[in-house]
């Protein structure tokens, strides 16, 4: 795992750490299976990946696709953000991530409520 953050990682991390985004805990450089997520929130099953030049190298798109498929299999949504988007519009990126986190909260709570109703019906 890298100790040094890129400028875009540092900028986004300043907005995610200490439960700054809607009270959710995010982890930096978090291991999931054989992959390392740039940022991960377990409560809403969300991975945030920052894409710089390395994601345009040969074979990178296949790796990213396999990684996304693996995460999807675990019920984890992956969001990809280009470094320049953070550098140029951090407030807009954070606003977008807030909406995504809220959507994930609703999806997860909705799924839990449905499971609870099924259990209740099965127990009656």
Q: Give the residue extent of every domain in the chain.
A: 7-123
Pairing of strands 35-41, 46-51: antiparallel
Rounded to an integer, what distance in angstroms lies between the CA atom of residue 85 and that of residue 98?
16
4-18: pLDDT as tens digits: 889 999 999 999 999
90-122: pLDDT as tens digits: 999 999 999 999 999 999 888 776 666 655 555
| pLDDT at res. 5 | 86
Instruction: Give the homologous superfamily in CATH for domain 7-123.
Output: VSR Endonuclease (3.40.960.10)
State the distance between the two ends of the chain, measured CA to CA, in whole angstroms.
50
51-104: pLDDT as tens digits: 876 555 566 688 888 999 999 999 999 999 999 999 999 999 999 999 999 999
Can you give the pTM of this predicted structure? Answer: 0.83
Tokens read off for 103: 């959507």
């Amino acid at each position: 795992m890298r100790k040094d953050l890129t400028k875009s990682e540092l900028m986004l991390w300043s907005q995610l750490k200490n439960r700054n985004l809607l009270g959710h805990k995010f982890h930096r450089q978090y291991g999931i299976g054989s992959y390392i997520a740039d940022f991960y929130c377990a409560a809403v099953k969300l991975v945030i990946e920052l894409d710089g030049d390395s994601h345009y190298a040969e074979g990178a798109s296949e790796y990213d696709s396999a990684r996304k498929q693996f995460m999807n299999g675990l019920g984890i949504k992956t969001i990809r953000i280009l470094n320049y988007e953070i550098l140029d519009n951090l407030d807009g990126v954070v606003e977008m991530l807030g909406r995504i986190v809220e959507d994930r909260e609703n999806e997860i709570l909705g799924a839990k409520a449905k499971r609870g109703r099924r259990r209740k019906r099965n127990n009656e």
